[in-house]
Chains A and B, each alone.
Chain A
């Protein structure tokens, strides 16, 4: 009798469990359905157009499948030069950002949070300012009769105005300025998370400040630095506005070439193929980064 009772209540509990499970599943789905509108926007603007470009890049002149658009890239020297320029600009900009961004992030991370917040405005202000405005500012500063040339000649650094813009120099200066906040913000966040006791312990164990920095602090800040550098590098790969304006037609990166192909030849196949290569390079960099450094955790604070 007692056993039958126990059985009965167990099957009753099963019934409840099944109902709860169903209800739980239904609720999970209704919550998840909230992402539908956002997903539709992304599918319409990103997935469908990108798939279309992907398809166009494999379309030959005769309308069938062909690799001719990709084959062209290996044939012409101009393409080779564009890839070299793109990597050159991206790597040099990233290095410049590390050289300028690391000390500033370190300085900010050492300050009491209140003061760091105030000085952080120096990083956030350019971050929030239109990149077109910032590119324009550099165009004005670096031109032949610009402030920089005038100042340098007054001080006696050089005699005649030198060409600082419409070339690689101008492009790199502008790009480094625009990208710097993208390096500093993740690096600063990583540095803030470093346990202060670590440096205390290092000092306690006899390390001088320089030793403690290089053997304890720097390695701990490395993930933040790598995350920031990769963001900068990847953004540089696809950059368009700054090389177009400050490069003056002499710095042609992949994005500039894509527009040029569309403007001059209206060749969607060639432009798409170049775009696919750019996308693959970008995704590959991020994939490797994610594998190596738990990248998205550093970027979005998500585990």
Chain B
């Protein structure tokens, strides 16, 4: 029997009669991936107009990016804010997720809903709200202000990822440790945390990326010497098509792809254990 006349599913539909689905899916996957990937070769073009494929290859736009004090400063800010957001959101996310998972208190549901509001409230409102509030306390254009706002955005993601990790782990292991005399804190750090480490790492990476990629709050709340990469990129996009952005985009695509593959790798390792 050839491949296409073989049944593809329980309804005995054949691969041949599913061919349209395979073709369509391939096209949609191409549409999903291609646009961002096509920027990569274009960033190596020597031309002012982004060509594909480039007629002359060069590193001109990378030199432009690396040689610009403004872009370098913004990149440093974005990394700094992303890293600090990760350091704030991950432990707070672990604490909240663990508490909500273990606690049998009536209020847990309400608290959970409160903690995930940053996912529900349109970001523009968080942006103008914090901009207004920070204006009152002089926290606009500060790293601390941006980190705090980005942490609020990252927290729900961290909590959801870590809760998923806790759910796939058998909590009775912690109870065994406690019945053998470990305190709850000790049992958590020695038994639970190592078992949910892949969720914790994923939550940390996602927190970093949430901050690093965030645009709207950064537009309002960051500025001056502490303006982020995305703020400058957005300003550049609105005015004209600057090929330097292609170089920066390429670096960002590589960064996020690397982080994604890292979580996939850790995830498959986590399942294997």
Residues of A within 8 A of B (CB): 27-28, 31-35, 37-39, 41-42, 44-50, 52-53, 56, 100, 103-104, 106-108, 110, 117, 119, 121-126, 128-141, 143, 145-147, 177, 180-181, 196-197, 199-200, 202-203, 207-209, 212-213, 234, 237-238, 240-241, 244-245, 254-255, 258-259, 262, 268, 271-272, 275, 278-279, 282-283, 286, 300-302
* Closest-CB distance, B232 to chain A (whole angstroms): 10
Q: Which chain A residue has the least Cβ–Cβ distance from B104?
A: A28
Q: Is the CB of A132 within 8 A of B237?
A: yes
Within 8 A of A (CB), among B216-251: 216, 230, 233-234, 237-238, 241, 245-246, 249
Which A-chain residue is minimally distant from B234 (CB atoms)? A132
B13 at the interface (CB under 8 A from A): yes
Instruction: Report the minimum CB–CB distance from A216 to chain B (whole Å).
Output: 9
A128-B256, A132-B234 known; A35 and B99 CB under 8 Å?
Answer: yes
Mark the stretch among B60-68, B89-97, B189-197 that contacts chain A.
B89-97
Q: Are B35 and A45 in contact (CB under 8 A)?
A: no
| Contact present for B260 and A130 (CB under 8 Å) | no
The residue in chain B whose Cβ has the minimal distance to the Cβ of A30 is: B184
In the complex, which residues of chain B have a beta carbon less than 8 angstroms from the beta carbon of A122?
29, 32-33
B76 at the interface (CB under 8 A from A): no
Subset of 9 A-B contacts with CB under 8 Å: A38-B92, A41-B92, A132-B213, A133-B253, A177-B31, A212-B11, A238-B122, A240-B124, A278-B125
Chain A residues within an 8 Å CB radius of B39: 133, 136-137, 140
CA distance A45 to B126 in the complex (A): 7
Cβ contact within 8 Å between B257 and A125: yes
Interchain nearest-CB distance for B135 vs A (Å)? 10
Report Cα–Cα, A48/B131, bound state, in Å. 12
In contact, B31 and A53 (Cβ under 8 angstroms): no
The CA-CA distance from A190 to B7 in the complex, in Å, is: 23
Q: Which residue of A lies closest to B268 (CB)?
A: A117
Tell me if B132 counts as interface (CB < 8 A to partner A): yes
B29 and A104 form a contact (CB under 8 A): yes
B49 neighbours in A (Cβ, 8 Å): 145
Q: Using Cβ atoms and an 8 Å threshold, which residues of chain A touch B151?
A: 41, 45
Known: A126-B33, A268-B132, A278-B122. A241 touches B234 (CB 8 A): yes
Determine how close the nearest CB of chain A comes to the CB of B3; give it in whole angstroms: 15
Task: Please tell me if the beta carbons of A141 and B92 are within 8 angstroms of each other in the complex.
Answer: no
Q: Which residues of A contact B12 (CB under 8 A)?
A: 203, 209
A4 CB, min distance to chain B CBs, angstroms: 35
Find out whether the CB atom of B123 lies under 8 angstroms from the CB atom of A238: yes
Asked if residues A138 and B35 are in contact (CB atoms below 8 Å), the reply is yes
Chain B residues contacting A262 (CB-CB under 8 Å) are 128
Residue in A41, A104, A275 whose CB lies within 8 Å of B128? A275
Which residue from chain A places its CB closest to the CB of B17 in the assembled complex?
Answer: A209
**Shortest CB distance A241–B (Å):** 5
A42 with B237: CB separation less than 8 A: no
**Contact between A52 and B11, CB atoms less than 8 A apart:** no
Q: Which residues of B contact A123 (CB under 8 A)?
A: 29, 32
Q: Within 8 Å of chain A (Cβ to Cβ): is B130?
A: yes
Q: Kindly list chain B residues whose C-beta atoms are within 8 Å of the C-beta of A258.
A: 124, 128
Decide: B215 and A241 in contact? CB cutoff 8 A: yes
Task: State in angstroms the CA–CA spacing of A123 and B25 once bound together.
Answer: 11
